[in-house]
Amino acid sequence: MGVGGDGRSDGTGSTLAERLNHLFANMHPPGAPYTNALVAEEISAGDEEYGGVKVTEQYLSMLRNGRRTNPSPELLRALAKFFAVPGGYLLGDLSQPQAERVEEEVRFLAAMRDQRVRAIALRSVGLPPEVQDSLTTIISQFRQQMNLPADPPEPGGDRSGE
């Protein structure tokens, strides 16, 4: 199971605060990370879109640093909707594989903000699968030669705007 509204990890290895920070760090337009103030304003102003939920910048900060760990399900649903992830990701309704899949998709979207990464990906569209596999092998070899991990690190980690 995932992380419950109380903020405790129940098997997936991350807390509600970690998941929120992951979304803030990765789910934003290129070059414009979201701040607590902006997210609070958008959710609080979007009565119909976010179900009339009201939240303050300070409360979001407390959720992100773990000082508050029991937000309402309505707030978690609103945050999930804002960041365009399944509500269960923050509500704790996803299994570990499902939560990991959401995080993988978030990492992918973050990587695709990089123009060079996007160019490489787009140039491979339409190539036969065996050629795409060869390109993957070549990239892996470059990563190994440069003493980089086999898989790129998770982007983000900057928690500006807390």
- For residue 1, give Cα distances in angstroms to 41, 95, 100, 103, 136: 31, 4, 11, 15, 32
Q: In angstroms, rounded to a whole number, what is the distance separating the alpha carbons of residues 120 and 122?
A: 6
What per-residue confidence (pLDDT) applies to 131?
Answer: 94
Q: In angstroms, rounded to a whole number, what is the distance separating the alpha carbons of residues 74 and 54?
A: 10
pLDDT tens digits for 111-124? 887 788 888 888 99
What mean pLDDT do residues 32-41 have?
93
Q: Is residue 102 within 8 Å of 12, Cβ to Cβ?
A: no
Q: In angstroms, rounded to a whole number, what is the distance separating the alpha carbons of residues 101 and 88?
A: 12
75 or 91, greater pLDDT: 75
Q: Is the pTM of this model over 0.75?
A: no
**Is the confidence at residue 79, as pLDDT, over 80?**
yes
pLDDT tens digits for 137-160? 998 999 899 998 877 655 444 333
What mean pLDDT do residues 93-105 have?
88
